[in-house]
Amino acid sequence: MKKLSSILILIVSVCLLFSGVSLAKSFTIGLSNGWVGSEWRTQMIDEAKAAAAKWQKEGVEVKIIVQSSNVDVQGQIAHVRNFINQGVDAIIINPNSPTAFDPVFRQAKKQGIIVVSTDAEVSSKDAIYVGIDQKGWAMKSARWLSATLNGKGKVVAINGVAGHPANQMRVEGYREVFSKYKGIEILNEVNANWDQAQGQQAMQNLLATYPDIDGVWVQDGMAAGAWRAILTENRTNIAATGEIRKDFLETWKAKNLNSGASVNPPGCMASALNVTVHLLLGKEFKKPVSDGKYGNALYIPIPFIDSNNFDQAYKQVQGKPGHYSVSESLTIKEAAAYFK
């Protein structure tokens, strides 16, 4: 009997050992960021790393490999190929093109690698998108500006990087909204590459050229510069969209600006990561991912800041550096809600 008990104990121990091994999960995820022109992108990567670390409490180890640099489309395709060669389990990419990655994403899928884009949608059927609807983001702030102007006025637009997929969708968004108001006239649309200094210069040029501007639709990354030019010219009659950075929120509060801002959270990559890990764990979506221009998008909510909730947003950034942006991301539990 004693011998039998010893054998049973040994069997149970072995079963527990192998059970522990089978339950231990470890995944490697490659993060590709093809443009590093703003602190927003740095915060995006940092929040994704923090999200990965939180999976430890769930018994899942998530290893991160980051490739973040200013590259053209071919350079970012090289990012993806490097990840494939390193044998990652998944790739999360903030893409520089909506269509150029189709072949390399197909190659990744053949290798059993999950591909998720964020911040900008991609056309590949071998990838999904997890992030905000960039067109919807622009439409929210364009509706705010239209309502603030009572549906009439002369408007200028300052856009980001020409040709970037997120920028293209945002332009489509505000144009669609403004087209519904016969009283709104778009005087000019310029690009300032999501750069604050370029945004200020662009606004200075527009103010000099069009002295009768009523409203400015400007993307984040440039709004602080645009508003600086507006305030320098003492054009307090102008309504303009704003930013989600702490330093701009401080100016907004101090100057009582007539502004509103759609939030594109740097936490978008963290949201994408949490969705990706659930996929790696073998979970299935409750319903097909079929939103967006390409029918492969999973949209997350778009917060908006105006006078109604400004104090709440301002409170969130207290104690943070000036470049810190208001942010949100899907938690592990919130991401799980999309799955069966």
Residue pair 108/126 in contact (Cβ under 8 Å)? The answer is yes
Residue pair 118/93 in contact (Cβ under 8 Å)? The answer is yes
pTM of the model: 0.86
Residue pair 222/202 in contact (Cβ under 8 Å)? The answer is yes
Percentage of the chain beyond pLDDT 70 is 93
Tell whether the model's pLDDT for residue 17 goes beyond 70: no
Q: What is the pLDDT of residue 331?
A: 98
Q: What is the pLDDT of residue 7?
A: 44
Q: Which residue has the higher pLDDT, 220 or 281?
A: 281
Summarize pLDDT for 43-68 with one digit per residue, the tens: 999 999 999 999 999 999 999 999 99
Tell whether the model's pLDDT for residue 286 goes beyond 90: yes
Cα distance from N-terminal residue to C-terminal residue, the chain: 47
Percentage of the chain beyond pLDDT 90 is 89
Instruction: Grade residue 194 by pLDDT with cuts at 50, 70 and 90.
Output: very high
Across 87-96, average pLDDT: 97
Query: Shortest CA distance to 194 belongs to which of 319, 41, 332?
Result: 41
Summarize pLDDT for 101-150 with one digit per residue, the tens: 999 999 999 999 999 999 999 999 999 999 999 999 999 999 999 999 99
β-bridge pairing 297-299 and 128-131: parallel
Domains, the chain: 26-132+266-301 (3.40.50.2300), 134-262 (3.40.50.2300)
CA atoms within 13 A on the CB side of 166: 21
